[in-house]
């Protein structure tokens, strides 16, 4: 992978927080999944904390399910500056959600974090590592990846293979691969040229970028949790309780 442009300034980010959280039921019957707590902090705040840590100035949060609860919670954030992308009228999936928010995300590359992806930094903060290898000329997508075998709350067989230069390719059908997508990424607005109207998945754009040799991955060097079900939530809580006793929590 190219050493990238370590001076690239990324001032905008987005947290994908509009999903229905059906796999987290019954917890999410009355609570949006992004407001589920791990280690006494909501998943949404964990994601926004990562953006604040990366000195992001503006964070877009899309909302749909129990949107009033989401807005009320976000009013209590001190930083970064929060802008709502309202999807009350129609749930747009990951790609459609980012596409709708593009006017709020500036002209340059921006971070996108899934609200159910809980990341613990390694020696260097994950978003800082992504920014350090981002190459504005050669990349449209830079995905944070994690070793499939070491993931908490994940039951799949991986998503991507990575070549010696860091370019990602899709997992062949029915074949396990070493890396999963960790729900954290840098995207460039040009990736969204000629996208379909309405709901669509970001996977459509990953495949487009990969086909052009412009989709890359960086392997995470810390812990990662997919908090998508009550069982996964319990696993994350147990780990965080051991690693971060309450006396040391933020």
* Secondary structure of 71-94 as H, E, C letters: HHHHCCCCCCEEEEEECCCCCCHH
Segments making up each domain of the chain, as ranges: 12-248
pLDDT of 122 higher than 70:
yes
Contact 226, 21 (CB under 8 A): no
pLDDT score, position 154: 66
pLDDT of 245 higher than 70:
no
- Pick the closest to residue 3 from 95, 123, 129 (CA basis): 129
pLDDT score, position 136: 93
Q: Which residue has the higher pLDDT, 24 or 137?
A: 137
Contact 178, 85 (CB under 8 A): no
Q: Which residue has the higher pLDDT, 26 or 2?
A: 26
Return the structure tokens found at 50.
């990562």
CATH of 12-248, one of 3.40.50.2000, 3.30.830.10, 3.90.550.10, 3.40.50.1580: 3.90.550.10
Q: Is the pTM of this model over 0.75?
A: yes
pLDDT score, position 12: 97
The span from the CA of 145 to the CA of 178, in Å, is: 9
Contact 51, 92 (CB under 8 A): no
For the chain, report the end-to-end CA distance as a whole number of angstroms: 35
Return the structure tokens found at 34.
């992004």
pLDDT score, position 246: 56
- Pick the closest to residue 144 from 130, 164, 131, 156 (CA basis): 130
Q: What's the number of CA atoms in the CB half-sphere (13 Å) around residue 221?
A: 10
Q: What's the number of CA atoms in the CB half-sphere (13 Å) around residue 80?
A: 25
């Amino acid at each position: 992978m190219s050493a990238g442009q370590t001076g690239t300034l990324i001032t905008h980010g987005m947290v994908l927080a509009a999903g229905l959280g059906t796999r987290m039921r019954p917890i999410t019957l009355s609570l949006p999944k992004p407001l589920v707590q791990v280690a006494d902090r909501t998943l949404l705040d964990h994601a926004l904390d990562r953006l604040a840590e990366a000195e992001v100035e503006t964070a877009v949060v899309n909302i749909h399910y129990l949107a009033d609860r989401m807005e009320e919670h976000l009013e209590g954030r001190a930083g970064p500056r929060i802008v709502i992308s309202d999807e009350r009228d129609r749930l747009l999936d990951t790609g459609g959600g980012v596409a709708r928010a593009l006017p709020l995300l500036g002209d340059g590359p921006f971070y996108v974090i899934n609200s159910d992806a809980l990341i613990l930094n390694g020696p260097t903060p994950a978003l800082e590592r992504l920014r350090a290898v981002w190459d504005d000329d050669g990349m449209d997508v830079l995905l944070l990846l994690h070793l499939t075998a070491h993931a908490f709350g994940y039951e799949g067989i991986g998503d991507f293979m990575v070549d010696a230069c860091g370019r990602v390719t899709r997992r062949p059908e029915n074949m396990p691969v070493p890396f999963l997508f960790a729900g954290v990424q840098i995207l460039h607005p040009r990736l969204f040229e000629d996208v379909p109207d309405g709901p669509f998945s970001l996977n459509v754009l990953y495949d487009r970028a990969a086909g052009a040799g412009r989709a890359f991955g960086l392997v995470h060097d810390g812990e990662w949790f997919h908090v998508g079900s009550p069982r996964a939530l319990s696993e994350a809580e147990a780990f965080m309780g051991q690693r971060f006793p309450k006396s040391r929590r933020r």
